[in-house]
Homo-oligomer: A and B are copies of this chain.
Amino acid sequence: MRAEIITIGDELLIGQVVDTNSAWLGQMLNKYGIKIHRINSISDNSEEIKLQLSECLDRSELIIITGGLGPTKDDITKKTLADYFGMGWRTDHVVLAQLEMFFKNRGREMLETNKLQAELPEGCLTLNNEWGTAPGMWFEYNGKIIISMPGVPYEMKNIFEFKALPLINERFSQPKLFHKTIITINVAESILAKRIEQVEDSLPAYIKLAYLPNWNIVRLRLTGVEQSGSDIIKEIDVYTTAIMNILGEAVVATEDLSMAEIIFNLLSHRNQTLSLAESCTGGYISHQMTMIPGASKVFVGSVVSYSNSVKHHQLGVESTLFETVGAVSEQVVLQMVEGVRERLATDYAIAVSGVAGPGGGSVEKPVGTVVIGVCNKDTTLVQTYNFIGDRINIIGRSNNMAFEMLRKLILS
């Protein structure tokens, strides 16, 4: 069974908005054994939409469309689909009642354009939008399914998960796919590939290995298609173990987690706490921790000590060090990490100071020089790194490396 996504909106084509919806949809469908074969991003243009839809209908059974359902003039998806399928219009009175309540609850006036959102093509099934104003639509055409949803991620995700997915599962039953992700750090893709060449060559045709590098992390993803008469999960486990045995220390986890989630799980399990002192990473590591629901079980707080004054007053770093060895130095980071752990009274702490660029580099400390420290009450470790890349790259690599140093300290 082939499935495709069509995302509609000039904002995607001129790069004003990044298409995060498709990745989310791909993930959701993949869990149910449905593979997305193509993602097609096109313009808010009626002819383009029709052309793309024709192509997709020629080759796929399930077509998921996002975008172009808003209340404004540039939103033309609904009208275009009604035209394409030759459908008249109906008023969906359930949607109308929902819209009235939506605006009443928010104390906002309901405009004519909002009311129009209850006008739907006659032949489609409504996928109620309890999270916004534009309903989703489910069309059947020549035995194919076409789903249209708004592009606002929060609304789309809820409509898809709670309204569309149950219908999709009823309709399509697929051989399941199973994934296993092995997360590695600090080893380049080509070196990993060389080391596990023999395992890779021995994989059966229904198990595939992919390398997904991001900053200093490479995720190795094994994907297997369910086979009758064999246990695909066990088979994947055998290859996972073989790869882990070869890669040893480079393996950080065998679940698809962020470094922050790995640390959260470790500390949460041990009922231990963490604080951070961030200079060049500027709050990014704290943000990674606090994107985890329930982070407060582990994460107590941070001092984002961007200026030297904050490093001195809030963390207790000796002021003379800024002149003698500079803020990006192992001495300063040592005082930062011990200072924040003591002041915020946590079991563990991380501190980072570096040159994220593009400015601020020097001959001795070029852009990418980052000093990372981790500690608990007995041990403090400080290490200097030279990362390559642009500002977000250096911040991201620092984040990963800081969590990796902490992971080793926790497990030591």
- Chain B residue nearest to A152 (CB atoms) is B213
Contact B392 A291 (CB under 8 A): yes
**Chain B hits for A189, CB < 8 A:** 70-72
Contact A113 B22 (CB under 8 A): no
Whole-angstrom distance from the CB of A265 to the nearest CB of chain B?
Answer: 17
**Chain B hits for A11, CB < 8 A:** 210, 212, 221
Contact B304 A296 (CB under 8 A): no
Contact B304 A283 (CB under 8 A): yes
Contact A294 B359 (CB under 8 A): yes
Cβ 8 A contact of A18, one of B18, B38, B283:
B18
Contact A389 B193 (CB under 8 A): no
Whole-angstrom CA separation of A11 from B41 in the bound complex: 17
Q: Does A393 contact B (CB under 8 A)?
A: yes
**Chain B hits for A113, CB < 8 A:** 190, 193-194
Contact A391 B304 (CB under 8 A): no
Cβ 8 A contact of A190, one of B28, B30, B55, B72:
B72
Contact B15 A23 (CB under 8 A): yes
Chain A, 47-87, CB within 8 A of any chain B CB: 48, 52, 55, 70-74
Cβ 8 A contact of A256, one of B16, B35, B301:
B16
Contact B43 A40 (CB under 8 A): no
Contact B39 A13 (CB under 8 A): yes
Contacts A189-B71, A190-B114, A307-B296 known; A41 to B42 CB distance under 8 Å? no
**Chain B hits for A23, CB < 8 A:** 12, 15-19
Copies in the complex: 2
Contact A74 B209 (CB under 8 A): yes
Whole-angstrom distance from the CB of A246 to the nearest CB of chain B?
Answer: 15
Q: Does A385 contact B (CB under 8 A)?
A: no
Whole-angstrom distance from the CB of A205 to the nearest CB of chain B?
Answer: 13
Whole-angstrom CA separation of A219 from B44 in the bound complex: 17
Contacts A40-B40, A286-B283 known; A20 to B18 CB distance under 8 Å? yes
Contact A289 B295 (CB under 8 A): no
* A338-381 to B contact mask, C-beta < 8 Å, 1/0: 00000111000000000001110000000000000000000000
Contact B283 A393 (CB under 8 A): no
Chain A, 193-232, CB within 8 A of any chain B CB: 193-194, 200, 208-214, 219, 221, 223
Q: What are 20 A-to-B residue pairs whose CB atoms are below 8 Å?
A: A10-B208, A13-B35, A15-B23, A15-B27, A16-B219, A37-B42, A39-B40, A111-B191, A154-B390, A154-B393, A282-B290, A283-B284, A286-B287, A290-B306, A293-B359, A295-B306, A301-B304, A302-B302, A309-B344, A314-B314
